[in-house]
Amino acid sequence: MKRQISRLQVRDVSLYFGGVTALSEVTLDVYEGEILAIIGPNGAGKTSLLNCISGLYRPQQGHITFVDNNGRHHELTRLRPYQIAQLGIARTFQNIELFRHMTVLDNLMLGRHVHMKGNLLSCGLYWGRQQAEEIAHRERVEEIIDFLEIEHIRRQVVSTLPYGLQKRVELGRALALEPDILLLDEPMAGMNVEEKEDMARFILDINEERGVTVVLIEHDMGVVMDISDRVVALDFGRVIAEGPPDEIRSNELVIQAYLGDESLMAFV
Amino acid sequence: MECGVYFTTYKDDMALRRKPLEKLRLALFAALVVIFPFIASPYWLNLANQIALATIGAIGLNILVGYTGQISLGQGAFMAVGAYGAGVLTARLGIPFWLSIPIAALITAAVGVLFGLPSLRLKGLYLAIATLAAQEIVEWTVVHWTSLTGGVEAMVIPAPRILNMRLNTDFRFYWIAVGMAALTALFTANLFRSRVGRAFVAIRDQDIAAEVIGVNVYLYKLLAFGTSSFFVGLSGALLAHYRTIISWERFTLETSIVYLAMIIIGGLGSIQGSFFGAAFMTLLPAFINTAGRALQSTFPAIATVLPAVQQSIFGAIIIFFLIVEPEGLAKLWRDIKNYFYVWPFSY
Ligand SMILES: Nc1ncnc2c1ncn2[C@@H]1O[C@H](COP(=O)(O)OP(=O)(O)OP(=O)(O)O)[C@@H](O)[C@H]1O
Ligand SMILES: [Mg+2]
């Protein structure tokens, strides 16, 4: 089992929206090199947890600590989202949030933003060093385009692409950041079987070949069983179970939580 | 659409003008711009100068509104800062003409950043109201700070000169106006094919995603206000030196709205569009005036209705573009180019 080093420590995190409890004393670890699946019925708090990690929500209570490659600890609940991205945490969204009027290339180039140095003046002049920087990062982006097999659409405006490809571009943008941890919010939702298989293959490759730690929210239990090393189940904002996939699938509490949620009947 | 054109290096692929035809078209346009002042009458030269200055202002506004998605009703105010800045620097402080222009533009950039602060909290209509406040504050200041600006009296500044050469003719000023417009266009084109400009556009399209991918959205919004205001201030400063007389009435809310119309008609988020819009909004009133005066001899009553006619035509055209072609003249131009690109094999 790959669970030596904890890279992300969520401790006692609670998040409220008025009277609604989105997360309640959530504690979990993300270990280096693993694929962690987060499951739970609709409204369980999965997206809220991701939003807390990436800095979009600020929990009223608890801590989230990220351990970087040099072993330094960063308290994420005190940082702005762009700072968390700079640390090497990238994500995708449940409802695709691409830069709709930009091309695929430009979307991916934005993934390189934190690695580039260009400032207002150097960009406006576009002399020597700035041009060299743009080209160097374009090469990195092209490598990701190859990997995701989206060469044919690189100059297309994102909003003109079909849903499945948009999902793939969004993955590419997050990947361009070269994250240590990749947070994926339902990357396969709304896809057909073939698209799901492609996506699963990409996620596995990203994890194995690029050594990226993946946190994945997914409703399709088949996929979760296939690709995740470990599963955390949420219900009403609480962690109700944690363990390897086959253990979670037969966990009483998890089955209870899913009862009555017909979107997941296949699971029971 | 792009049949038959391939690039072997990323450098070529990332060039501003990628295709031979595009390069040719740009060269032709440049040649025209150089020949124009030698063949044009003073009347047309004056219009050309107005268009060049308006293009700079329109590109400035477009950086903020079209590219970064931050609405602004403060264009008139920022132009005023540039114009009065240049005026005060030369007429009161004796700073040379050429130096007063970048300083005035930088002052405007600083004022733009200041009035951009509400954008960190406000969006859309609310931001529009906040920039409207900026417009009113600057207007009020210009009118009431009489010792500095001359108040409601016009402020007269010395004719621009470089090395003892006076630039007070339309022909001479043309080279400065057009040169600065070209530099503005080039800078902006470069900006939006590289890191900082991309971040601006990302904020327009999806500010949350921009922040999450690592763009410091607060910083970049202020940067957009600063960059935009720099060019708007540049336009104002050049206008002051061109007219050598500055009056606050040129920089009212109406100016802000005319410039918004300019970039809507020309094309939001487009440099070419900024130019088209500037040309259109400069030529149309000139044309209506000429037509009106021609008709006046036969129908003397026309003089009284002319301003109203002008306003109605403006209004109608803006509505037309909002409904029929929201991407403006730049889009029409693109369609024409694409049509001829595959001509005669239209499919
Ligand atoms: N911005 C918000 N404002 C108010 N309530 C919110 C907000 N975000 C989440 N919530 C609430 O928090 C709870 C958890 O929502 P969350 O989106 O995290 O669930 P989820 O597990 O991702 O569900 P789904 O499977 O439907 O995506 C829900 O009750 C939701 O209504
Ligand atoms: Mg969700």
Domain residue ranges in chain B:
39-341
| Residues A9, A75 within the same domain | yes
| A181 vs B24, residue with greater confidence | A181
Q: How far is the CA of A256 from the centre of ligand 2 (A)?
A: 20
Pairing relationship of beta strands A181-185 and A230-235 according to DSSP bridges: unpaired
Average pLDDT over residues B156-175: 84
Start-end of H helices in B192-252: 195-205, 207-212, 217-243
Say if residue B26's pLDDT is above 60.
yes
| Residues A2, A84 within the same domain | yes
| Residues A71, A118 within the same domain | no
| Residues A40, A156 within the same domain | no
User: pLDDT tens digits for B247-291?
Assistant: 888 999 999 999 999 999 899 999 999 999 999 999 988 888 888
Task: Determine the residue among A79, A80, A97, A138 to mutate to test chain B binding: the one whose Cβ has the most chain B Cβ atoms within 10 Å.
Answer: A97
A208 touches A196 (CB < 8 A): no
**Pairwise CB contact (< 8 Å): A91 & B212:** yes
**Pairwise CB contact (< 8 Å): B212 & A81:** yes
DSSP 3-state of A11: strand
* Residue A105 contacts B, CB cutoff 8 Å: no
Q: Hey, which bits of B80-186 come out as E strands?
A: 155-156, 161-162, 165-166
Pairing relationship of beta strands B161-162 and B165-166 according to DSSP bridges: antiparallel
| Nearest-neighbour CA in chain A from B159: distance (Å) | 31
Decide if A4 is inside a domain. yes
Torsion of CA A144, A150, A153, A154, to 10 degrees: 10
Fold of B39-341: ABC transporter involved in vitamin B12 uptake, BtuC (1.10.3470)
Average pLDDT over residues B170-185: 94
Give the residues surrounding ligand 1 with Cβ less than 6 Å away. Answer: A 17, 20, 22, 40, 42-48, 94
Decide if A26 is inside a domain. yes
Phi first, then psi, for residue A22 (nearest 5°) are -85, -40
Among chain B residues, the shortest Cα distance to A93 is held by B209
User: pLDDT tens digits for A158-199?
Assistant: 999 999 999 999 999 999 999 999 999 999 988 889 999 999
Q: Whose CA is nearest to atom 30 of ligand 1?
A: A43
| Residues A158, A213 within the same domain | no
Poorest-pLDDT segment among A158-167, B15-24, B111-120? B15-24
| Residues A196, A263 within the same domain | yes
* Residue A189 contacts B, CB cutoff 8 Å: no
Chain A contact set for B208 (CB, 8 A): 56, 81, 97
| B332 vs B48, residue with greater confidence | B48
Cα distances (angstroms) measured from residue B261 to each of B30, B153, B276: 26, 28, 12
Decide if A96 is inside a domain. no
| Nearest-neighbour CA in chain B from A157: distance (Å) | 12
As a whole number of angstroms, the distance between CA A137 and CA B325 comes to: 35
Interface residues on B facing A, Cβ-Cβ cutoff 8 A: 10-11, 14, 187-188, 190-191, 193-199, 201-202, 204-206, 208-217, 223, 227, 269
Note whether ipTM > 0.90 here: yes
Chain B contact set for A97 (CB, 8 A): 206, 208-209, 212
Say if residue A217's pLDDT is above 70.
yes
Say if residue B196's pLDDT is above 90.
yes
Residue A230 is predicted with a pLDDT of 95
Start-end of H helices in chain B: 10-13, 20-39, 42-62, 75-87, 97-116, 124-144, 146-149, 170-191, 195-205, 207-212, 217-243, 253-266, 271-296, 302-324, 328-341
Decide if A126 is inside a domain. yes
Q: Smallest Cα–Cα separation from B61: which of B235, B237, B307, B288?
A: B235
> What is the token pair recorded at B11?
């450098």
Residue A67 is part of which domain span?
1-88+179-268
**Pairwise CB contact (< 8 Å): B202 & A110:** yes
| B124 vs A178, residue with greater confidence | A178
Say if residue A83's pLDDT is above 90.
yes
Residue B318 is predicted with a pLDDT of 77
Residues sharing a CB contact under 8 Å with residue B208, sequence separation 6 or more, in sequence order? A56, A81, A97
**Pairwise CB contact (< 8 Å): B10 & A125:** no
| Nearest-neighbour CA in chain A from B136: distance (Å) | 29
pTM above 0.80, yes or no: yes
Among chain A residues, the shortest Cα distance to B187 is held by A124
Give the single-character DSSP code of A14: E
| Residues A167, A184 within the same domain | no
Q: How far is the CA of A234 from the centre of ligand 2 (A)?
A: 12
As a whole number of angstroms, the distance between CA B105 and CA B229 comes to: 7
**Pairwise CB contact (< 8 Å): A126 & B10:** no
Residue B287 is predicted with a pLDDT of 85
| Residues A170, A201 within the same domain | no
Among candidates A113, A119, A174 on the partner chain, residue whose Cβ is nearest the Cβ of B215: A113
Say which residue the tokens 């260009």 belong to. A118
Say if residue B7's pLDDT is above 80.
no
Chain A contact set for B206 (CB, 8 A): 97-100
Decide if A240 is inside a domain. yes
Residue A57 is predicted with a pLDDT of 96
| B156 vs B199, residue with greater confidence | B199
| Residues A201, A147 within the same domain | no
Residue A260 is predicted with a pLDDT of 58
| Count: domains in chain A | 2
Atom of ligand 1 nearest to the CA of A186: 27
Residue B328 is predicted with a pLDDT of 80
A-B contacts (CB, under 8 Å): 111
| Residues A186, A161 within the same domain | no
Percentage above 70 pLDDT, chain A: 95
A133, A153, A177 - which closes a domain: A177
Give the pLDDT band (50/70/90) at residue B346: very low
Q: Which listed ligand is nearest to A38 at the C-alpha?
A: 1
Among candidates B10, B202, B214 on the partner chain, residue whose Cβ is nearest the Cβ of A86: B214
Decide if A95 is inside a domain. no
Decide if A93 is inside a domain. no
Say if residue A135's pLDDT is above 50.
yes
Atom of ligand 1 nearest to the CA of A45: 18
Torsion of CA A143, A148, A150, A154, to 10 degrees: -40
A143, A177, A211 - which closes a domain: A177
Q: How far is the CA of A232 from the centre of ligand 2 (A)?
A: 15
Decide if A237 is inside a domain. yes
Phi first, then psi, for residue A173 (nearest 5°) are -60, -45
A177, A200, A217 - which closes a domain: A177
Chain A contact set for B213 (CB, 8 A): 85, 90, 110-111, 113-114, 173-174, 177
**Pairwise CB contact (< 8 Å): B212 & A124:** no
Q: Smallest Cα–Cα separation from B182: which of B34, B336, B286?
A: B34
Cis amide bond preceding B96, omega within 30: no
